[in-house]
Chain A
């Protein structure tokens, strides 16, 4: 039998412990757990605004034959497949350049590369919008260089508008990912590189065979976070390629479709919740695949 004082002592601390976390738990319950459970419940309903009825899996059935959803999914996947690899490769190369010990103005260059991701999303979107407009800087520059005869409709054309979005998010997020690589590179033991240099290994081989394997966990981390970010892409297409009252179909993403369903179209919060869960499932599935591909094989 345990001595009595210990039990009450423990109980005392248990109660106090729960008291300490109760506020946080309450807030998490109200602002996280409840919305998550409620949105799941909502996704089983459909209708207009407050006039809703229970439809069970009806929303999921509707997804399969909804051309707008499929278009948004397609656009989102295009951004994901093209932009994320370009950005991560660029970040890796930049980090490795900025990690060179004999590089001049290192601090300045690092700041310059990181600077885009501390700028305001809306502010840079507005600048991009004006740069890529029909009369904008980019068209003028290209015409001056003699590369184009007619201005390119950057923001209106189905192909070019996607290019603009990819350029914009690459500009904004490359520096962010670079910082992770740079930090990880500085943790790699310098003696490994010295040994490799003495053995006469080329700089390219050193990068591929020493740097990249050592960065594996960080590369996995940036891939997963970039995937999540791209699947939730909203600000750039909303601010750069949206015109007037209608969202451009050319760059419609899943997040924009959710916004449309909730605030632009006849409000159908149930169906919007279902589309949100599609993003959740996609993120989960892609993250699982990435973890599986990058697992330790020994």
Chain B
């Protein structure tokens, strides 16, 4: 095919597409007024509400800038972002988008040039190190670290006492000890120690990261077969499944329901669960918080992370400069803002300076007068940094695929080999 011919075909196709999309383009250009920063995020009670608070603070000082905060389901934000970036039509993209931390490296790698590097514009040293590391690519830092998923162990101190343990027994324990306590709790109180979906790999992620390991090593190479943390995590998961120390649930609603109905004595997950735990007011004073259990492997700590997200500025955005300044002024500097969102929304930000604020040292009567925020911010500084790589979703799927086999007695070595093979075939 010669060039002229190819050109004709291309331009005809473009013209046809242009005709079809003309209407949408016109609408989009009308929607974005001068000085309007568009933002995509999910969760109206958390991210959206926090962004509205941030926007309010910024417009008070910069009346020229307005904000359009669009609330969508998390899957919709991800899908819209991914398809639009892939299509190359950047007109409909927002200026700022919320990205879950596990997905960030994938987007940065798959769509080079789509996101604006913020190094030099924002002081990233002010944030938790492990959050900054995962948004660094090729020496440049993209994005602005937002909420953390620092994990902790929430437990019912009344049930634990009934089983013959004190609050002291719950501090800085190992997973094996946790399992022993769980067995006692069930024997004495008839309640299960925790609720879990047998297919969910959240606990494996928590265990792995607490030991500073992931599916990939620091260079992004597969780290499965000789990964002691993953091996120990799978072994622990097998123990859970075989001793039946947990209440099986499926889906978020049932899982949170188990906590609120008082069916289980504990939950180990990210700090973002606090709001859901506190939702059952009748259990006020009965809950307490302790550090995440640790694995019996070298480098294991009592701090980990699950989930969390960060703000990213799109390079194609019209209001790019305003967007960067906004994030820098509020999210990277305004300590008072972090006190507000902690108190109103339970959001633990990853700006290290925010930990010095008053709200962080306040006692919470729901947790028996414990200074829970202080604890979480201390753990946040201890979370080991790992390289999530770009294939975390593939890794999760590979691990989840082996769980039914493990429950039926498959050796852990064999499962590790299967995970390695599946991942190796997916990473091309």
Known contacts A134-B250, A243-B197, A246-B201, A48 near B109 by CB under 8 Å = yes
- Within the assembled complex, what's the spacing in Å between the Cα atoms of A243 and B198? 10
Main secondary structure of the interface of B (DSSP, over half): helix
Q: Decide if B35 is an interface residue (CB 8 Å cutoff).
A: no
- Within the assembled complex, what's the spacing in Å between the Cα atoms of A51 and B291? 42
- Whether A65 and B110, one on each chain, are in contact in the complex, defined by CB atoms closer than 8 angstroms, is no
- Whether B397 and A155, one on each chain, are in contact in the complex, defined by CB atoms closer than 8 angstroms, is no
Q: Decide if A68 is an interface residue (CB 8 Å cutoff).
A: yes
- Whether B110 and A48, one on each chain, are in contact in the complex, defined by CB atoms closer than 8 angstroms, is yes
- Whether A263 and B110, one on each chain, are in contact in the complex, defined by CB atoms closer than 8 angstroms, is no
Q: What would 16 A/B residue contacts be, using CB atoms closer than 8 Å?
A: A30-B16, A62-B428, A67-B418, A67-B421, A153-B198, A156-B197, A156-B248, A156-B250, A157-B404, A158-B404, A244-B202, A246-B396, A246-B400, A260-B397, A267-B86, A271-B428
Residue of A nearest to B13 (CB): A34
Report A's interface with B, CB cutoff 8 A. 26, 29-31, 34, 46, 48-51, 62, 65-68, 71, 129, 133-135, 153, 155-158, 243-250, 260, 262-269, 271
Q: Decide if B82 is an interface residue (CB 8 Å cutoff).
A: yes
For residue A263, which residues in chain B have a CB less than 8 angstroms away from its CB? 78-79, 82-83
- Among A34, A50, A129, A157, the residue within 8 A (CB) of B86 is A50
For residue A62, which residues in chain B have a CB less than 8 angstroms away from its CB? 425, 428
Interface centre among A153, A264, A269 (most CB of B within 10 A): A264
- Among A31, A34, A246, A264, the residue within 8 A (CB) of B199 is A246
For residue A67, which residues in chain B have a CB less than 8 angstroms away from its CB? 418, 421-422, 425
- Whether B428 and A46, one on each chain, are in contact in the complex, defined by CB atoms closer than 8 angstroms, is yes
For residue A30, which residues in chain B have a CB less than 8 angstroms away from its CB? 16-17, 20
For residue A66, which residues in chain B have a CB less than 8 angstroms away from its CB? 425-426
Known contacts A49-B86, A267-B82, A269-B86, A249 near B400 by CB under 8 Å = yes
Give the 8 A-B residue pairs with the shortest CB-CB distance, closest first.
Answer: A49-B110, A249-B401, A48-B110, A155-B250, A156-B198, A246-B400, A158-B404, A246-B396
Q: Decide if B7 is an interface residue (CB 8 Å cutoff).
A: no
Q: How distant is A33 from chain B, measured CB to nearest CB, in Å?
A: 11
Residue of A nearest to B408 (CB): A158
For residue B200, which residues in chain A have a CB less than 8 angstroms away from its CB? 243-244, 246
Q: How distant is A270 from chain B, measured CB to nearest CB, in Å?
A: 10
For residue A135, which residues in chain B have a CB less than 8 angstroms away from its CB? 254
- Within the assembled complex, what's the spacing in Å between the Cα atoms of A71 and B398? 12
Residue of B nearest to A66 (CB): B425
Residue of B nearest to A155 (CB): B250
- Among A248, A262, A265, the residue within 8 A (CB) of B400 is A248
Pick from B167-175, B220-228, B371-379, B387-395 the stretch touching chain A: B387-395
Known contacts A30-B16, A51-B110, A135-B254, A245 near B393 by CB under 8 Å = yes
- Among B79, B83, B112, the residue within 8 A (CB) of A51 is B112
For residue B393, which residues in chain A have a CB less than 8 angstroms away from its CB? 245-246, 260, 264-266
- Within the assembled complex, what's the spacing in Å between the Cα atoms of A158 and B404? 7
Interface membership of chain B positions 238-266, coded 1 if the CB is closer than 8 angstroms to chain A and 0 otherwise: 00000000011111101000000000000
Q: Decide if B63 is an interface residue (CB 8 Å cutoff).
A: no
Residue of B nearest to A245 (CB): B396
For residue B88, which residues in chain A have a CB less than 8 angstroms away from its CB? 50
Residue of A nearest to B75 (CB): A263
Residue of A nearest to B399 (CB): A246
- Within the assembled complex, what's the spacing in Å between the Cα atoms of A26 and B17? 10
- Within the assembled complex, what's the spacing in Å between the Cα atoms of A71 and B421? 14
Q: Decide if B65 is an interface residue (CB 8 Å cutoff).
A: no
Interface membership of chain B positions 166-209, coded 1 if the CB is closer than 8 angstroms to chain A and 0 otherwise: 00000000000000000000000000000001111110000000
Known contacts A26-B16, A133-B254, A266 near B390 by CB under 8 Å = yes
For residue B83, which residues in chain A have a CB less than 8 angstroms away from its CB? 263
Known contacts A50-B86, A134-B250, A244 near B110 by CB under 8 Å = no
Interface membership of chain B positions 27-46, coded 1 if the CB is closer than 8 angstroms to chain A and 0 otherwise: 00000000000000000000
For residue B252, which residues in chain A have a CB less than 8 angstroms away from its CB? 244
Q: How distant is B242 from chain A, measured CB to nearest CB, in Å?
A: 14
For residue A271, which residues in chain B have a CB less than 8 angstroms away from its CB? 428
- Within the assembled complex, what's the spacing in Å between the Cα atoms of A65 and B426? 10
- Within the assembled complex, what's the spacing in Å between the Cα atoms of A268 and B391? 12
- Within the assembled complex, what's the spacing in Å between the Cα atoms of A8 and B197? 75
- A68-B426, A246-B396, A246-B400 are known contacts; what are 4 more A-B pairs with Cβ within 8 Å? A30-B16, A248-B400, A265-B394, A271-B428
